[in-house]
Amino acid sequence: MASEGLSHENGSPFVEYDRKTWAELAPSAPLPLSDEELARVRSVGDMLDAKEVLEVYQPLARLLSLYAEGARHIHSITRQFLGENMSHTPFIIGVAGSVAVGKSTTSRVLAELLSRNPETPKVALIATDGFLLPLKQLTKDGILERKGFPESYDRRALLRFVSQLKSGVSPVSAPVYSHLVYDRVEGESLPVESPDIVIIEGLNVLAPPATNSALAISDLFDFGIYVDARTGDIARWYEERFVQLQQGAFSDPRSYFHKYAALAEPEAREEARRIWREINEPNLLENILPTRPRASLILRKESDHRINTVLLRKT
């Protein structure tokens, strides 16, 4: 069944593969991740298992490796043609999608798989959360309830960071974000030095340029991935994830969301539905979902949170 809002008529720019057909595109190989590694890359509420890694992510990692190797070859022959010693530039992958859809899991799995390719051993994973404006600034500007919307990010800093990566600058540093305190970690940064591949994961990373800018970070990507699902399914997953966190991570007194820890489960579910209805769903419908057609590849999930269809942009 087609996901809402995306046409699959003959004029579609995407070729659609069911999971079985997609899995057959890459040669079979042993599972590259151990049970412990699977547990480490899997986000709360996600259903990632060994079968999905083998059938979906292993072929995707192989495709991305081919793209990265091709880009490196083009860079090499261009350098020879121009007679210039241009800096090595990384292959940049953007991963977008709604809150609770599983884009962080997708990003971590791909980072693990791509780093095991001897041609691309240095893989950096950057979440755009670190480029969110500090809580104090969001509060001062009156947009704390719009955290995650485009205006809540330091878009200039994010664009500057990606531009430096794509220009071959090394090292560059990304700000660090703490999900525990729901804010940037003051004074901390993540150095990125001469990576082969950079995966940039975030809600709006495939967005077009802002009205006052001629360039978007997505213009600097070599490949864009959108993790997709029906809006009603994502709402349900968000609620379930909220309850799991409310009964787990939120119990830490340092957590920004510790105020929810004492709620009874019905109250917690009602609060999750309110947050989804007032914040996450409007952001999805207004800002995130419209970027889906800009992706190079779409991973579509069914109601069980498992990827069942892959759509690859025609070349």
pLDDT digits (tens, 9 = 90+) for 21-68: 999 988 776 777 888 999 899 988 888 999 999 999 999 999 999 999
- Phi/psi of residue 256, each to 5°? -60, -30
Alpha carbon distance 118, 139 (integer Å):
46
**Angle of CA points 251, 201, 39, to nearest 5°:** 50
Is residue 207 within 8 A of residue 287, CB to CB? The reply is yes
Confidence (pLDDT) at 3: 41
The lowest-confidence range among 67-71, 80-84, 231-235, 297-301 is 80-84
For residue 30, the SS3 value is: coil
Neighbouring C-beta atoms of residue 86, cutoff 10 Å: 12
Return the structure tokens found at 83.
Answer: 């007679």
- Return the CATH architecture of domain 14-313: 3-Layer(aba) Sandwich (3.40)
pLDDT digits (tens, 9 = 90+) for 97-114: 999 999 999 999 999 999
Mean pLDDT of the chain: 92
**Angle of CA points 11, 15, 20, to nearest 5°:** 145
Return the structure tokens found at 155.
Answer: 């878009």
Whether 9 shows a pLDDT value over 60: the answer reads: no
Domain ranges for the chain, please list them.
14-313
Alpha carbon distance 116, 156 (integer Å):
33
pLDDT digits (tens, 9 = 90+) for 167-181: 989 999 999 999 999
Whether 92 shows a pLDDT value over 90: the answer reads: yes
Q: Is the previous residue joined to 171 through a cis bond, with omega within 30 degrees of 0?
A: yes
